[in-house]
Amino acid sequence: MAAPPLLSLQDIQLTFGGTQLLEAAELIVSPGQRIALVGRNGSGKSTLLKIAAGLVQHDAGVRFVEPSATIRYLPQEPDLSEFATTLAYVEAGLAAGDDAYRAQYLLHALGLTGAEEPKTLSGGEARRAALARVLAPQPDVLLLDEPTNHLDLPVIEWLQSELDQMRSAMVLISHDRRFLSDLSRSTVWLDRGVTRRIDKGFGAFESWRDEVLEQEEKERHKLDRQIVREEHWLRYGVTARRKRNVGRLERLAGLRQDRREQRRAVGSVSMAVSEGRTSGALVVEAESISKSFGDRPIVLDFSTRVLRGDRVGIVGPNGAGKTTLIKMLTGLAAPDTGTIKLGSALELAMLDQGRARLEPETRLRDALTGGGSDTLKINGESKHVVGYMKDFLFTPEQANTPIGKLSGGERARVALARALALPSNFLVLDEPTNDLDLETLDLLEEMVSDYAGTVIVVSHDRDFLDRVATSVIMAEGNGKWVEYAGGYSDMVAQRGEGVTARTVEKAAKPEKAKASSDPATPAAKRKLSFKEKHALETLPGEIDKLDAKIRQVNDRLGDGNYYARDPEGFARDSKALAEAEAKKTAAEEQWLELEMLREELEG
């Protein structure tokens, strides 16, 4: 017998601004279920998740939550403004009886210390803190809205592993297809205000969706033919038996009404890139290029050849230097040492991550045309801006809408439309999949695959890289970059692992493995500093002391009556345990890095 649901939404209806967003939406979550919630941008996925979380009131329908069930919701834009530190923000999400240490553990695993002030956080850091807050209580139901947004690959892979080990039921909204496919066991499709469900993971969704839409088209065709037959009878049929004729006329009126009320599937993006002249066979040749910022090596002795038609993926943790490498490979920045040779007749078009470069007050039409004109050239032919807007699912009424009023997905489409309008034979895409829905992702993949020129793409989307990349350049840490043949999965097979969290830690602490600032001096010939030698000798003793302290505190906390006897002492010891665990982990990692560096220098 199936377990009763922890959370149930039935026949949910909601209208925004006169438009019915949700018409008959359902979402039933039972213990341990992992549900992918999918649909086009603007279909109401986030709104349905907010209704499930109790944050938005629906117009009609029933929301039920099992009284003892705990629910945690991850918003797309978390608000930490009321808290002094990230640790305070995460601990505020804990309930009585929750493991207080888990807050510190999750923050550390996500690359935060807990001492960060919210006003200083980047979007990615705020998202990490929000993830720690919802994961820490290990709730019965997790509602996660785009949990991988603003995260780099090491954190995405860690998060996927962490969620996979949790017993919580989950509802996931994500544009990361690999993430959804690996974690989900059921799929709910929100389409034109109505939900459909299949008890299979996201991996089976796209073929099922296509079957549903194909069947809809057949039904629509049958209805059209029936209307034609009835209209033919109306014009040419006999007029006797008036009473029966009146009934038939009413039936025809009903068919026409059904036809008018049918909600067709939302249109698809029509995506084409404006191609320039054919470039030379050699696009980029880099020989032994290096670049450092101060004492920090970004690229060390890297060589590659990019030929016409190649699709090169670049992956690595945030801060590894992916943007710097791109700038050197495209001639926008010079290496400190080594040479970059660019091919002939190159026409470069770039899509960067900076949606902020789309000025908020700029009108949509001006963002696409550059202002001062109603037309733009696509593959040598003039096209009216409104027609080009329709290709990217914008309505004519949005032509004068300021960019700042558009959603994240709409701004992503504007940036794509603007970049693809430029004549090019060398396309550089920096995180092009951010905020794109699944259908738009499909079309972007087709466009990249069919593009006659050369493509360099930076992406944290593993599935996207598998589908488009002919090779992957991977940041191995400390300025080392290695190129692997094939897509992301091929890179993992050759390398033996993905972009692991250890890479983040190395990248975040480059001072532990400094390269010589003198290009003529090989980094491997330097010696450990006095400070590094001292740390290497003393850290094991510090780790032993911390280990002993952790055992002592654990012994006190293991007393079942401790909290009732001394709540303040229990809180102090819980905090001391978290701090000692964090210090021990940091010390172990520092010793490991120094030991690896010593072996490298001596070897």
pLDDT in tens, 478-513: 899 999 998 898 888 888 777 764 333 333 333 433
Q: How far is the C-alpha of 24 from the C-alpha of 55, rounded, in Å?
A: 19
Domain carrying residue 35: 7-207
Question: Does one domain contain both 37 and 165?
Answer: yes
Question: Does one domain contain both 483 and 337?
Answer: yes
Go through the chain and tell me how many residues it has.
Answer: 603
E strand or H helix that includes residue 427: strand 426-430
Q: How far is the C-alpha of 421 from the C-alpha of 413, rounded, in Å?
A: 12
User: CB atoms < 10 A from the CB of 350, how many?
Assistant: 17
Amino acid 522: pLDDT: 41
Q: Are 298 and 321 in contact (CB under 8 A)?
A: yes
Q: Are strands 169-173 and 141-145 parallel, antiparallel or unpaired?
A: parallel
Residue 392 lies in a domain: yes
Q: 391-441, pLDDT tens digit by residue?
A: 777 888 888 888 887 766 777 778 878 877 778 889 898 888 877 777 778
In the numeric block, which tokens belong to residue 81? Answer: 């403004």
Q: Which of 524, 552, 575 is the last residue of a domain?
A: 524
Q: How far is the C-alpha of 329 from the C-alpha of 306, rounded, in Å?
A: 9
User: CB atoms < 10 A from the CB of 542, how many?
Assistant: 16
What phi, psi does 265 have (nearest 5°)? Answer: -60, 140
Question: Does one domain contain both 504 and 456?
Answer: yes
Amino acid 276: pLDDT: 58
CB within 8 Å of 600: residues ≥ 6 apart: 524
Amino acid 515: pLDDT: 39
Question: Does one domain contain both 375 and 226?
Answer: no
Q: Are 290 and 335 in contact (CB under 8 A)?
A: yes
CATH at residue 581: 1.10.287.380
Q: Are strands 186-191 and 34-38 parallel, antiparallel or unpaired?
A: parallel
Q: CA distances (Å), 484 to each of 281, 379, 454, 495, in order?
A: 21, 33, 17, 8
SS3 for 248?
helix
What distance lies between CA 473 and its chain's CA centroid? 20
Question: Does one domain contain both 520 and 468?
Answer: yes
Residue 175 lies in a domain: yes
Amino acid 244: pLDDT: 47
Question: Does one domain contain both 99 and 58?
Answer: yes
Amino acid 501: pLDDT: 41
In the block, tokens 């006659």 appear at 452
Of residues 348, 332, 328, the one with CA closest to residue 340: 328
Amino acid 249: pLDDT: 57
Amino acid 404: pLDDT: 80
Residue 17 lies in a domain: yes
What secondary structure does DSSP assign to 147-183, as a single string? TTTT--HHHHHHHHHHHHH--SEEEEE-S-HHHHHHH
Residue 355 lies in a domain: no
Question: Does one domain contain both 439 and 572?
Answer: no
Residue 558 lies in a domain: yes
Amino acid at 264: R
Count: domains in the chain: 5
Q: Are 159 and 24 in contact (CB under 8 A)?
A: no
What secondary structure does DSSP assign to 170-227, as a single string? EEEE-S-HHHHHHH-SEEEEEETTEEEEESS-GGGHHHHHHHHHHHHHHHHHHHHHHH
CB within 8 Å of 554: residues ≥ 6 apart: 577
Residue 269 lies in a domain: no
Stretches where the chain sits below pLDDT 50 are 238-244, 263-265, 355-356, 501-525
Q: Are 8 and 63 in contact (CB under 8 A)?
A: yes
Question: Does one domain contain both 133 and 257?
Answer: no
Q: How far is the C-alpha of 293 from the C-alpha of 336, rounded, in Å?
A: 10
User: CB atoms < 10 A from the CB of 31, how many?
Assistant: 16
Question: Does one domain contain both 177 and 106?
Answer: yes
Q: How many CA atoms does the CB half-sphere of 402 hold within 13 Å?
A: 6
Q: Are 302 and 251 in contact (CB under 8 A)?
A: no
Residue 2 lies in a domain: no
CATH at residue 328: 3.40.50.300
Q: Which of 499, 524, 549 is the last residue of a domain?
A: 524
E strand or H helix that includes residue 383: strand 381-384
Amino acid at 525: K
Amino acid 256: pLDDT: 55
Q: Are strands 71-74 and 141-145 parallel, antiparallel or unpaired?
A: parallel
Question: Does one domain contain both 519 and 548?
Answer: no
Q: Which of 207, 232, 250 is the last residue of a domain?
A: 207
SS3 for 286?
strand
Partnered with residue 25 across adjacent β-strands are 12
Residue 352 lies in a domain: no
Question: Does one domain contain both 89 and 63?
Answer: yes
Can you give the pTM of this predicted structure?
Answer: 0.68
∠ at Cα 351 (376, 481), nearest 5°?
Answer: 155
Question: Does one domain contain both 315 and 410?
Answer: no
